[in-house]
Structure 1
Amino acid sequence: MEDISVITAVHHPLRRRIHDYLLLYGTCQVTTLARALDSQVGSISHHLRMLERAGIVERAEDPNGDRRTSWWRLARRGISWSADDFADSPADALLAREAQRQGIRMQIDKLQRWHRRHGDPAVAEYDGSNTETTAWATPDELRDLSARIISTLREWQESIDTDDGQARTPVFFFAHAFPTEP
C-alpha cells in the first residue's frame, strides 16, 4: 500500500506535470522543466523537493560535471493505489479521495484536449482508442485484471526502441475498473 504522502505529492497539478515530463524525457535540469512547463524556477524547485520527500524523484548527477546546476530524474515509474486502502484513517481516506478526484479530472481534461486537437496535422496519423467492456468479477478478479493491465503496459513501454529514429509523440493511457450497474 502506498503512503498517503506519496499519493498527495503526485496529485498536485504541477507536480503531476513534473512527474509526467520526467517520465517522458528523462533526467533534466530545473531550468529545462521550468521552461517546458511555463513555470518559475523557484516553483519547480519547491515542487521537486516535495516529490523528493515522497520518494518520487531524486537528484541526478550533472552529465557535464557542473555542480552549479540542479538535475533531477524519476526515482520510480508510477504508483498504484485505491482510496479504499485508507479506510482505517478518516483523514487519509479524505486525502486519498481528493487525490482520486484530481486524478480523474486530469484524465478527463487530457481526453478533452485530445478531442479538440483531433484535426491537428501534428497528430493526424494517431487514432485515439476507446476500449470498454462490462463483465462479472469478484474483488480478487478485479485486482487480477488491474495487475495484468499494469504488467502489459510496462511490457509495452519497455518494448519501444526510442533510439530507432522514428518520430513519436507522447501518448496517455488511462483505465478505470469498478463495480457498476446497467
Structure 2
Amino acid sequence: MEDISVITAVHHPLRRRIYDYLLLYGTSQVTVVARALDSQVGSISHHLRMLERAGIVERVPEASGDRRTSWWKVARRGLTWSADDYADSPADALLAREAQRQGIRMQIERLQRWHRRRGDPAVAAYDASNTESTAWATPEELRDLSARVLRAVRGWQSSIDEDDGQERTPVFFFAHAFPTEP
C-alpha cells in the first residue's frame, strides 16, 4: 500500500505534470521543466521539493559541479493503489478519494484533448485505442488483473528501443476496472 503522502503529492495538478514531464524526458534542469510547463521556476522548484519528500523524484548532481541550478529525475515509475486501501483512517480515506477524483479528472481531460486534436497533422497518424471488456471477478481477481495490466504495460515500455531513430510522440494509457451492472 502506498503511503498517503505519496498519493496526495503526485495528484496535485502541477506536480502530476512535472512527474509526467520527467517520466517522458528524463533528467531535466528545473528551468527547462518550468519553460516546458509554462510555469515559474520558483513554483516548479517548490513542487519538485514536495515530490522529493514523497520519494517520487530526486535531485541529480550537476556534472560540472555548478550548484546555481538543480537537476531532477524520477525516483520511481508508476503507482498502483486504491482508495479502499485507506479504509482504516477516515482522514487518509478522504484524501485518497480526492486524489482518485483528481486523477480521473486528469485522465478524462487528456482523452478530451486528444479528441480535439485528432485533425492536427502532428498526431494524425496516431489512432487512439479503445479497449474495454466486462467479466465476473472476485476482489482478489480484480487486483490480479490490475497487476497483470501493469506488468504488460511495463513490458511493452521496456521493449521500445528509443535509440532506433524512429520519431515518437508521448502517449498516455489508462485503465479502470470496477464493479458494474449491465
TM-score of the aligned structures, taking structure 1 as reference length: 0.98
2:167 & 2:61 partners in 1: Cα distance?
28
- Superposition deviation, residue 83 in structure 1: 0.1
* AA matched with 1:117: R
Alignment match, 1:114: 114
2:81 & 2:140 partners in 1: Cα distance?
15
Q: Could you list the per-position Cα deviations for residues 102-158 of structure 1 after superposition, in whole angstroms to 9, with x for gaps in the alignment?
A: 000000000000000011100111000011110011111111110100000001101
Residue 125 in structure 1 maps to residue 125 in structure 2: yes
Q: Structure 2 unaligned runs (5+)?
A: none
Q: How does 1:10-159 map to 2 (within 5 A)?
A: 10-159=10-159
1:69 is paired with a residue whose SS is coil
Count the aligned residue pairs. 182
Alignment match, 1:4: 4
- Superposition deviation, residue 64 in structure 1: 3.5
Could you say if the C-alpha distance between residues 149 and 95 of structure 1 is closer, same or farther in structure 2, counting changes exceeding 3 Å? same
Q: CA RMSD in A?
A: 0.7
TM-score of the aligned structures, taking structure 2 as reference length: 0.98
2:73 is paired with a residue whose SS is strand
1:149 & 1:121 partners in 2: Cα distance?
31
1:128 & 1:63 partners in 2: Cα distance?
40
Q: Structure 1 unaligned runs (5+)?
A: none
2:59 is paired with a residue whose SS is strand
